[in-house]
Amino acid sequence: MTTLTRRASLGLMLATPALILAARPAFAREPDIYQEGGIAIDGSDAVAYFDGNGPVAGNPAHQINWNGAIWQFASATNADTFQADPTAYAPQFGGYCAYAASLGYLAPTMPEAWTLYDGKLYLNANLRARDLWLQDVPGNIAKGEANWPGILG
Protein backbone atom coordinates (compact mmCIF):
# COMPACT_ATOMS: atom_id res chain seq x y z
CA MET A 1 0.00 0.00 0.00
CA THR A 2 1.33 3.42 -0.95
CA THR A 3 0.95 6.28 1.48
CA LEU A 4 1.65 9.92 0.81
CA THR A 5 3.42 12.13 3.26
CA ARG A 6 2.00 15.56 4.03
CA ARG A 7 4.75 17.18 1.94
CA ALA A 8 4.04 14.90 -1.05
CA SER A 9 0.30 15.50 -0.72
CA LEU A 10 0.82 19.26 -0.62
CA GLY A 11 3.11 19.10 -3.64
CA LEU A 12 0.54 17.09 -5.57
CA MET A 13 -2.24 19.55 -4.66
CA LEU A 14 -0.13 22.51 -5.79
CA ALA A 15 0.90 20.80 -9.02
CA THR A 16 -2.62 19.77 -10.04
CA PRO A 17 -3.75 23.21 -11.35
CA ALA A 18 -0.55 23.53 -13.38
CA LEU A 19 -1.07 20.08 -14.86
CA ILE A 20 -4.66 20.89 -15.76
CA LEU A 21 -3.63 24.12 -17.49
CA ALA A 22 -0.79 22.42 -19.33
CA ALA A 23 -3.07 19.63 -20.55
CA ARG A 24 -5.91 21.79 -21.84
CA PRO A 25 -7.89 20.11 -24.58
CA ALA A 26 -7.81 21.54 -28.08
CA PHE A 27 -11.11 23.26 -28.72
CA ALA A 28 -12.72 23.46 -32.11
CA ARG A 29 -12.59 26.78 -33.88
CA GLU A 30 -15.78 28.81 -33.55
CA PRO A 31 -17.89 29.14 -36.72
CA ASP A 32 -17.22 32.22 -38.87
CA ILE A 33 -20.88 33.17 -38.46
CA TYR A 34 -22.71 33.45 -35.13
CA GLN A 35 -25.44 30.84 -35.27
CA GLU A 36 -27.64 28.73 -33.08
CA GLY A 37 -28.84 25.44 -34.49
CA GLY A 38 -27.23 26.37 -37.79
CA ILE A 39 -29.37 29.52 -38.16
CA ALA A 40 -27.46 32.79 -38.57
CA ILE A 41 -28.18 35.85 -36.42
CA ASP A 42 -31.13 34.31 -34.58
CA GLY A 43 -33.12 33.94 -37.79
CA SER A 44 -33.37 37.69 -38.36
CA ASP A 45 -33.55 39.08 -41.88
CA ALA A 46 -30.20 40.83 -42.43
CA VAL A 47 -31.52 42.86 -45.36
CA ALA A 48 -34.43 44.26 -43.35
CA TYR A 49 -32.03 46.20 -41.11
CA PHE A 50 -30.95 48.20 -44.17
CA ASP A 51 -34.56 48.96 -45.08
CA GLY A 52 -34.93 50.80 -41.78
CA ASN A 53 -37.13 48.07 -40.33
CA GLY A 54 -34.73 46.93 -37.62
CA PRO A 55 -34.94 43.30 -36.65
CA VAL A 56 -37.50 41.39 -38.68
CA ALA A 57 -37.93 37.65 -38.24
CA GLY A 58 -36.92 35.61 -41.23
CA ASN A 59 -39.07 32.87 -42.70
CA PRO A 60 -37.70 29.35 -43.26
CA ALA A 61 -39.44 29.41 -46.67
CA HIS A 62 -36.90 32.07 -47.72
CA GLN A 63 -33.51 30.82 -46.66
CA ILE A 64 -30.02 30.68 -48.12
CA ASN A 65 -26.97 28.70 -47.10
CA TRP A 66 -24.01 31.06 -47.00
CA ASN A 67 -20.67 30.90 -45.25
CA GLY A 68 -21.54 27.82 -43.19
CA ALA A 69 -24.89 29.03 -41.87
CA ILE A 70 -28.54 29.23 -42.88
CA TRP A 71 -29.78 32.79 -43.36
CA GLN A 72 -33.52 33.42 -43.23
CA PHE A 73 -35.39 36.31 -44.81
CA ALA A 74 -38.86 37.78 -44.53
CA SER A 75 -39.37 37.69 -48.29
CA ALA A 76 -38.01 36.13 -51.46
CA THR A 77 -36.96 39.63 -52.56
CA ASN A 78 -34.76 40.07 -49.48
CA ALA A 79 -33.29 36.59 -49.96
CA ASP A 80 -32.44 37.46 -53.58
CA THR A 81 -30.94 40.79 -52.51
CA PHE A 82 -28.74 39.07 -49.94
CA GLN A 83 -27.70 36.32 -52.33
CA ALA A 84 -26.60 38.89 -54.92
CA ASP A 85 -24.11 40.46 -52.46
CA PRO A 86 -24.02 38.74 -49.06
CA THR A 87 -21.02 40.68 -47.74
CA ALA A 88 -22.93 43.94 -48.19
CA TYR A 89 -25.71 42.76 -45.86
CA ALA A 90 -24.17 40.26 -43.46
CA PRO A 91 -23.30 41.79 -40.10
CA GLN A 92 -19.68 42.56 -39.38
CA PHE A 93 -17.63 40.25 -37.17
CA GLY A 94 -19.71 37.31 -38.38
CA GLY A 95 -22.76 38.51 -36.48
CA TYR A 96 -20.99 38.07 -33.15
CA CYS A 97 -21.12 40.96 -30.69
CA ALA A 98 -19.17 43.85 -32.20
CA TYR A 99 -18.36 45.32 -28.78
CA ALA A 100 -17.01 41.97 -27.53
CA ALA A 101 -14.90 41.69 -30.71
CA SER A 102 -13.41 45.10 -29.91
CA LEU A 103 -12.39 43.71 -26.52
CA GLY A 104 -10.92 40.55 -28.05
CA TYR A 105 -13.53 37.91 -27.34
CA LEU A 106 -16.70 36.42 -28.81
CA ALA A 107 -20.22 36.86 -27.51
CA PRO A 108 -23.64 35.99 -28.97
CA THR A 109 -25.97 38.71 -30.12
CA MET A 110 -29.59 39.71 -29.87
CA PRO A 111 -31.42 41.15 -32.89
CA GLU A 112 -32.62 44.28 -31.05
CA ALA A 113 -29.07 45.49 -30.22
CA TRP A 114 -28.00 46.72 -33.63
CA THR A 115 -26.32 49.64 -35.33
CA LEU A 116 -25.90 50.67 -38.95
CA TYR A 117 -22.67 52.59 -39.32
CA ASP A 118 -21.01 53.64 -42.55
CA GLY A 119 -23.29 51.29 -44.51
CA LYS A 120 -22.47 48.22 -42.40
CA LEU A 121 -24.48 46.26 -39.85
CA TYR A 122 -23.10 45.66 -36.36
CA LEU A 123 -24.86 43.53 -33.74
CA ASN A 124 -24.29 43.47 -29.98
CA ALA A 125 -24.94 41.02 -27.18
CA ASN A 126 -27.48 43.29 -25.47
CA LEU A 127 -28.57 46.91 -25.25
CA ARG A 128 -25.93 47.73 -22.61
CA ALA A 129 -23.17 46.42 -24.89
CA ARG A 130 -24.62 48.53 -27.70
CA ASP A 131 -24.52 51.62 -25.48
CA LEU A 132 -20.84 50.94 -24.75
CA TRP A 133 -20.21 50.27 -28.45
CA LEU A 134 -21.81 53.59 -29.41
CA GLN A 135 -19.44 55.57 -27.16
CA ASP A 136 -16.66 55.16 -29.75
CA VAL A 137 -17.88 53.36 -32.86
CA PRO A 138 -14.84 54.12 -35.10
CA GLY A 139 -12.41 53.17 -32.33
CA ASN A 140 -14.33 50.01 -31.49
CA ILE A 141 -14.44 49.02 -35.17
CA ALA A 142 -10.67 49.46 -35.44
CA LYS A 143 -10.09 47.34 -32.33
CA GLY A 144 -12.53 44.67 -33.52
CA GLU A 145 -10.90 44.50 -36.95
CA ALA A 146 -7.49 44.13 -35.29
CA ASN A 147 -8.82 41.18 -33.26
CA TRP A 148 -10.80 39.57 -36.09
CA PRO A 149 -10.70 36.71 -37.13
CA GLY A 150 -8.08 35.59 -34.59
CA ILE A 151 -10.66 35.47 -31.81
CA LEU A 152 -12.50 32.65 -33.58
CA GLY A 153 -9.91 30.30 -32.11
Domain boundaries, the chain: 31-89, 91-153
- DSSP secondary structure of 10-46: HHHHHHHHHHHHHTPPPPPPPPSS-EETTEEGGGB-H
Predicted pLDDT of residue 111:
95
pTM assigned to the model: 0.81
Q: Is 87 helix (H, G, I), strand (E, B) or coil?
A: helix
Predicted pLDDT of residue 10:
42
From 91, 89, 63, select the one nearest 75 (Cα to Cα).
63
Helix (H) or strand (E) holding 120: strand 120-123
pLDDT in tens, the chain (153 residues): 444 445 444 443 443 343 333 333 445 788 999 999 999 999 999 999 999 888 999 999 999 999 999 999 999 999 999 999 999 999 999 999 999 999 999 999 999 999 999 999 999 999 999 999 999 999 999 999 999 999 998
